[in-house]
Structure 1
Amino acid sequence: MIARLLLSYLRRHTALIFAFFMGAGIFAAVFSLYDLPEEAVAYASALTAAVFLTLGGIRFSVFCARHRALLALNKRIDVELSGLPQPSSLLEAEYQRLLRALFESKRALASALAEKQAQTEEYYALWAHQVKTPIAAMRLMLGASDHDAQLDAELFKIEQYVEMALGYVRAQSDQTDYVLNRAALDEIIRASLRKYARAFVLSKTRLSFRETNLRVLTDEKWLAFCLEQILSNALKYAPGGEIGVYAEGETLVVSDTGIGIAPEDLPRVFEKGYTGYNGRVDMRATGIGLYLVKTVLGRLGHGISIESAPDCGTKVVISLGRDETAFE
């Protein structure tokens, strides 16, 4: 570190060092023309070099102190800008003034964006609450009369799209209400499977569920949200097939015997808005579900990966170990 700082300092003062040696050379040449004793010239040069090195050492120590102050400031610059070193020149003072103006502009912009995000989330929460009321009423009316089971399925899809829209807005916020607890994974899985039970029946899809007997540190609501998105995808692309839910060590696996994912699409399935070949065939795909799953699981400290091939089904693996860096 010191060597790198010294090299940077010398480069910063290259012109001054060059001027010193040029001056020393000029004085030596002039003195030699007047036949002055070499000892006197050498003595004067040594004294000058000592003074120059002493002043340079002092200036270098100040340079190191300012560098340390800037490194310390770099750790908290997102919060405050106090603690900048005193400017040593008019130009440096102007640079600091410009930096403070940019910081204030950034803080004002961040505040405006946070307020806008809060308003958007509030609007969608209100919208979701209002739209759920007629959905509940329709479900009651359907339950009180003979009807096509397909109507139930379509109503269920509407409910899921509402949940996805609300989840999308909340996932974009830095203040989402994650609450971590030790939870029984099997209870979360069963609740999600019960929610999708009718969809399994209507699509004639078989379910293979093996108890995991795992307890995980997670947010039950958001993990269930992710699991439901994965189940929804599996049901969409594997109707009449089989969906398996089981554990492999400390991971949760959701597998299906559906149409699979093309190799060129697999690296991009978690990208926002990316639907791939399957999405272009199924015009209803939004490209949001897996993006949300990846985002939420990352914030919970979990991971996700997908293994798939065309006509060979898909295997979604959720690693339930908590990544501490997700909460730093």
Structure 2
Amino acid sequence: MFKDFLVERKSWIAMFVALELLSLFIAYVDPTLPVESLLYIVFLSSCLFLVFLFYRYHKETRFYKTLKETNLTTSSSIEAERPFEKMVRDTITLQATELKKDISFKQNSLEKQKDELLSWIHEVKTPLTAMQLIIDRLDNKDSKASLQYEWLRIHLLLDQQLHQKRIPFMENDLYIEKVDLRQLVFSEIKTLQSWCMQKGIGFETVFEGSEVLTDAKWAGFIIRQLLTNAVKYSNETADITIRSFDYNGGTVLEIKDFGTGISARDLSRIFDKGYTSTSKHHDNKATGMGLYLAKKAASPLLISISVISTPGEGSVFTLTFPKRNAFNELSGM
């Protein structure tokens, strides 16, 4: 900070040096003035000026050091001795107060929008349920299959939107318990049944490790996103392989599809928000949110998601559930 202080006071320093040089110049051109005595005076005044400079450095920078280490919420507690320091402190405090009011207003507005959207989603589920009952009564198999597929798409999009709004507050909604992974996976497969039948996709499942410690609702959401992604990009009549096994004290779930795969340039970005693909920009059905939300929801659950993919051969998404002792603080178990 001393360097910054010198830069800030360079005009003072330049003025002092100019005055001292002027004194020496006058003594040089005026033979009546003793140069040696004037040099002695310049030396003493320079020493005094250096002492004054160091004193002012400690005096003036104390306020700015405190200001640098203080956040906006505690700016009003900064000690200010001089008028300009008080002016700076009061201005910052006033701006901080206005910013807090603005943030509070925007948070309330966002919270209101979130509540309205969640209410709307729940309202839409009522006609969706009625539509499902109507579809179930249809006799035409082709029409029934097509309508069931479109119904499922709407259901999945609403479900994704619902969880997207809940994710920022999901830690308040967690209930950590022992969950049967096999039952959870089969429940999600059943949800996608009509879509899988339309594409002729089947499932091969092997569960060597089935019990995990997690939140069933959120874990189901994560698995749903991975299964939806696998079904969407799988080739028709290609099966999806699902297996689980115990590894290093935790449980691993692998979901393997034999679809288009993911290019190397996309692989590092597939979990980014809104990212779809560099090779499939014509795919208007992709929202770029499924894998992003899955990754986002996995973090509070201490679930690790990884992927291995080969273009043209398919992808393997791996969920690694945490060890039991990793959840001691969250579950109290």
Q: State TM-score, norm by structure 2.
A: 0.75
Residue 326 of structure 1 corresponds to none
Q: Once the two structures are superposed, what CA deviation does each residue of 1:166-220 show, in whole Å capped at 9, x if it has no partner?
A: 122333xx44454456544x5256324323236356243123233446755x554
Residue 17 of structure 1 corresponds to 13
Is the 1:244–1:254 contact (alpha carbons within 8 Å) kept by the matching residues of 2?
yes
Residue 70 of structure 1 corresponds to 67
Residue 55 of structure 1 corresponds to 52
Q: Does residue 111 of the first structure (1) align with residue 104 of the second (2)? A: yes
Equivalent of 1:242 in 215, 240, 243: 240
Residue 164 of structure 1 corresponds to 160
Residue 228 of structure 1 corresponds to 224
Is the 2:230–2:240 contact (alpha carbons within 8 Å) kept by the matching residues of 1?
no
SS of the residue 1:269 aligns to: coil
- Per the TM alignment, residue 164 of structure 1 is displaced from its structure 2 partner at its CA by 0.9
Counterpart of 1:271, as a letter, is D
Residue 82 of structure 1 corresponds to 76
Residue 274 of structure 2 corresponds to 273
In the alignment, the residues of structure 2 paired with residue 36 and residue 281 of structure 1 have an alpha-carbon distance, to the nearest angstrom, of 90
Residue 309 of structure 1 corresponds to 310
Structure 1 residues 260 and 140: CA distance shift in structure 2, 3 A:
same
Q: Once the two structures are superposed, what CA deviation does each residue of 1:136-160 show, in whole Å capped at 9, x if it has no partner?
A: 3444566678674735554444322
In the alignment, the residues of structure 1 paired with residue 132 and residue 215 of structure 2 have an alpha-carbon distance, to the nearest angstrom, of 29
- Per the TM alignment, residue 26 of structure 1 is displaced from its structure 2 partner at its CA by 2.7
In the alignment, the residues of structure 2 paired with residue 195 and residue 179 of structure 1 have an alpha-carbon distance, to the nearest angstrom, of 20
Structure 1 residues 80 and 312: CA distance shift in structure 2, 3 A:
farther
In the alignment, the residues of structure 1 paired with residue 6 and residue 89 of structure 2 have an alpha-carbon distance, to the nearest angstrom, of 23
Structure 1 residues 62 and 245: CA distance shift in structure 2, 3 A:
farther
Q: State TM-score, norm by structure 1.
A: 0.76
Structure 1 residues 64 and 272: CA distance shift in structure 2, 3 A:
same
Identical residues among aligned pairs (%): 22
- Per the TM alignment, residue 8 of structure 1 is displaced from its structure 2 partner at its CA by 1.6
SS of the residue 2:313 aligns to: coil
Equivalent of 2:119 in 123, 126, 135: 126
Structure 1 residues 70 and 122: CA distance shift in structure 2, 3 A:
same
Residue 193 of structure 1 corresponds to 186
Residue 209 of structure 1 corresponds to 206
In the alignment, the residues of structure 2 paired with residue 168 and residue 187 of structure 1 have an alpha-carbon distance, to the nearest angstrom, of 25
Q: Once the two structures are superposed, what CA deviation does each residue of 1:112-159 show, in whole Å capped at 9, x if it has no partner?
A: 321222122112221222222233344456667867473555444432
Unaligned runs of 5+ in 1: 324-328
Equivalent of 2:128 in 130, 135, 144: 135
Is the 2:184–2:216 contact (alpha carbons within 8 Å) kept by the matching residues of 1?
no
- Per the TM alignment, residue 293 of structure 1 is displaced from its structure 2 partner at its CA by 2.0
Bigger drift between 255-264 and 151-160 goes to 151-160
Structure 1 residues 193 and 69: CA distance shift in structure 2, 3 A:
farther
- Per the TM alignment, residue 245 of structure 1 is displaced from its structure 2 partner at its CA by 3.7
- Per the TM alignment, residue 315 of structure 1 is displaced from its structure 2 partner at its CA by 1.9
Bigger drift between 18-27 and 120-129 goes to 18-27
Is the 2:63–2:79 contact (alpha carbons within 8 Å) kept by the matching residues of 1?
yes
Structure 1 residues 272 and 60: CA distance shift in structure 2, 3 A:
same
In the alignment, the residues of structure 1 paired with residue 35 and residue 189 of structure 2 have an alpha-carbon distance, to the nearest angstrom, of 102
Is the 1:120–1:169 contact (alpha carbons within 8 Å) kept by the matching residues of 2?
no
Measured on the aligned residues, the alpha-carbon RMSD in Å equals 3.6
SS of the residue 2:128 aligns to: helix
Is the 1:243–1:254 contact (alpha carbons within 8 Å) kept by the matching residues of 2?
yes
Aligned residues: 310
Structure 1 residues 221 and 198: CA distance shift in structure 2, 3 A:
closer
In the alignment, the residues of structure 2 paired with residue 188 and residue 208 of structure 1 have an alpha-carbon distance, to the nearest angstrom, of 12
Is the 2:243–2:255 contact (alpha carbons within 8 Å) kept by the matching residues of 1?
yes
Residue 27 of structure 1 corresponds to 23
Q: Counterparts in 2 of 1:258-269, with a 5 A limit?
A: 258-269=259-270
Unaligned runs of 5+ in 2: 327-333
